[in-house]
Amino acid sequence: MDAVKTEPQGALKGLRLIEMGQLLAGPFCAQIMGDHGAEVIKVEQPEGGDPMRQWGQKSGLWWPIVARNKKSVTLNLRTEKGQELLKEMVSKTDFLLENFRPGTMERWGLGYETLSAINPRLIMIRVSGFGQTGPYAKRAGYGSIGEAMGGLRNLAGHPDRPPSRIGISIGDSLAANFACMGALMALHHRERTGKGQMVDSAIYESVLAMMESTVPEYTVEGFLRERTGSVLPGVAPSNAYPVKDGEVLIGANQDTVFKRFAQAMKRPQLAQDPRYATHSARGSNQEELDDLISQWTCTFTSKELLDLMEEYGVPAGKIFKAPDMLEDPHYKAREALVKVPHEQFENLWMQNVTPRLSETPGHIAWPGPKLGEHNEEVYGKLLGKTREELARLSEDGVI
């Protein structure tokens, strides 16, 4: 499916969001909202814009995704005229999103108290490493630091090696998702009361929110989770198992599923064996069971094993890379990937909008814009500035 250049569509159509900040944690929140129809106006510094424009393996390929469906305007927020222009925009918006270090907006005279006085319905979304309050608030905080402080890095990797990182910026993305949820909660509150509020999404807390029962396991039982590689201790069988052409992930840890799995192995007696008959028994004999399964799976190709697992109703899957995603029939049927027309990149594929809404589905209208591409539209049509005024602002280095 090819995306078509048109206006964004979705459940948030009719709402406007001003996006400030850069890189990923804030902009990904705005991407989600733009995917679902919000008008997103991205404010960038006149010189260079968001560094994400250059990020990627070679050609800056993060930018077309994280800035899709957004309008780009340039604005020098370090100038008084730039700050005044932003205030004019705030009077005509629903959301303002920023992910600067806490205190930056206040230094520019653009803190929540100032902006909410201009627009009491404003929902101000603030994404940062450590939140807007507390002794660490004004520290620089990247996603990787939030992942470490939130507890995720300690559990990533193998126990005999230093903590590993996941190959994506998961801390930033989690903070962005929680920021989006907070913004929509605040929107519901505004619908009832007419009053906006501030949403404070910290990267480390967003990671912490995903850490399951790790804290009470320590406070109640004195147990500290540590790195365990590819398995979750006590949950078996659930691992990546070798096949002739790679590995296949199998999750047969539930009792009823394990019975079907044992039948697929043509060893139904395993489901009655005291070592494997119950969830706790399998967990206690996890390594032994994994070795037994690996000796069996390595006699199959991935397709043979996956077909067999489907026949017996056992959850299993190939470990996908980009080529697998592009060729997979399920991906194709659901249009999970979409080809987006682009002036520079002839074969630009990216992930489609998620989640899917039955009545108001989101849409990719265009990839990331050029720097300042929408200056005339936003400043001219939205704020009513004349071409002469825009020319003076440009000459003064404001836009």
pLDDT digits (tens, 9 = 90+) for 342-396: 988 889 999 999 999 999 999 999 999 999 999 989 999 999 988 888 989 988 8
Proportion of the chain above pLDDT 70, given as a percent = 98
- Numbered ranges of CATH 3.30.1540.10 in the chain: 238-320
Rounded to the nearest integer, the mean pLDDT of the chain is 92
Predicted TM-score (pTM) above 0.95: no
pLDDT mean over 139-161: 87
How many other C-beta atoms can be found within 10 angstroms of the C-beta atom of residue 299? 11
Radius of gyration of the chain (CA): 25
Per-residue pLDDT at 91: 96
pLDDT of 2 > 50? The answer is no
Q: Is residue 50 within a helix (H) or strand (E), and if so which, with residue range?
A: none
Parallel/antiparallel/unpaired status of strands 123-128 and 95-98:
parallel
Domain spanning 16-210+333-395 has what CATH number?
A: 3.40.50.10540
For residue 290, what are the contacts with CB-CB under 8 A and spacing of at least 6? 231, 236, 237, 239, 241
Catalytically active residues are 172
pLDDT of 1 > 80? The answer is no
Closest CA to 351 of 360, 340, 343, 342: 340
Which architecture does CATH list for 238-320?
Answer: 2-Layer Sandwich (3.30)
- Numbered ranges of CATH 3.40.50.10540 in the chain: 16-210+333-395
Do residues 135 and 217 make contact, with C-beta atoms less than 8 angstroms apart? no
